[in-house]
Amino acid sequence: MNKNIIGPVYFYNFETRKSLVIERAIRRLYENLNFMISKGDIVGIKVHMGEHGNETFLKPHNVKTFVNIVKDNGGKPVIFDTTTLYNKKRNNALDYYDVAIEHGYSYATLGAPIIIADGLKGDKGRIVKIEDGAIREVEVAIDLFDMDSLIVLSHFKGHNLTGFGGAIKNMGMGCVTKNGKIAQHIILSPDIDEEKCKGCGTCVKICGFGAPYLVDGVAKIDKEKCVGCSDCFFSCPEGALV
């Protein structure tokens, strides 16, 4: 039986937001991790560059410190994320690049290439088998297989379904293709509370898969089309999706 290995957790109290203080803290953290980078290693730096209109993403100047650390140790850093399942600007690589630049993520600002690791449309991956898992296989983003190691940078954020999201979500959901995301989301297909539904059609408009539809002024969900992305769940003004 495999035993879970729990690593050390370091907490640094930032009493100032001065970038130099934060950079020193990050470098001190790296030194304590015993993270080995060999010369020429391709080191993936996993980030979430923020959705359009979002302000709480990890800021580029903090990511740049990790880029410099990788370079200082002879590695080749590459910053990456994957496309989203829900139908917003990060849904495909081209629009995601626009958002990345909008949020200050570019080669010019960070000194490292930025890639969307699951391809232009989020369908480039490789199946990985999982023993004794709730999900027996997952489609991992194709470019991860060319990386020698990963540095995963996660920000703590609230989540309507799980309470909060962090490093586990950043890897488990953020390092797979759309098919990999569907495999995890599919159990979340919502139902309609018809007493609450006002038939406004918000769910119909926002869904990128054509799953919700209206019948006599009440929303219905086509379970065959629904992938469980929860876009409708979060968008319903009446809270009618459960």
**The predicted structure's pLDDT at residue 1:** 45
Question: Are 60 and 47 in contact, with CB atoms under 8 Å apart?
Answer: no
Domains, the chain, in order of start with CATH, read 19-185 (no CATH), 189-235 (3.30.70.20)
Sheet holding 149-152, edge to edge: 114-116, 76-81, 42-46, 149-152
**The predicted structure's pLDDT at residue 152:** 95
Sign of the CA dihedral running 103, 147, 83, 45? negative
What is the pLDDT tens value at each position of the chain, 242 positions in all? 456 677 788 777 766 666 778 888 889 888 888 888 999 999 999 999 999 988 889 999 999 999 999 999 999 999 999 999 988 899 999 999 999 999 999 999 999 999 999 999 999 999 999 888 788 899 999 999 999 999 999 987 776 666 777 888 899 999 999 999 998 888 778 999 999 999 999 999 999 889 999 999 999 999 999 988 888 988 999 999 98
d(CA 166, CA 134) in angstroms, rounded, equals: 20
Quote the Cα angle for 112-81-158, to 5°.
125
**The predicted structure's pLDDT at residue 229:** 85
d(CA 45, CA 58) in angstroms, rounded, equals: 12
β-strands 149-152, 42-46 pairing: parallel
**The predicted structure's pLDDT at residue 14:** 66
d(CA 170, CA 173) in angstroms, rounded, equals: 6
Q: Of 19, 26, 154, give the one whose Cα is nearest residue 10.
A: 26
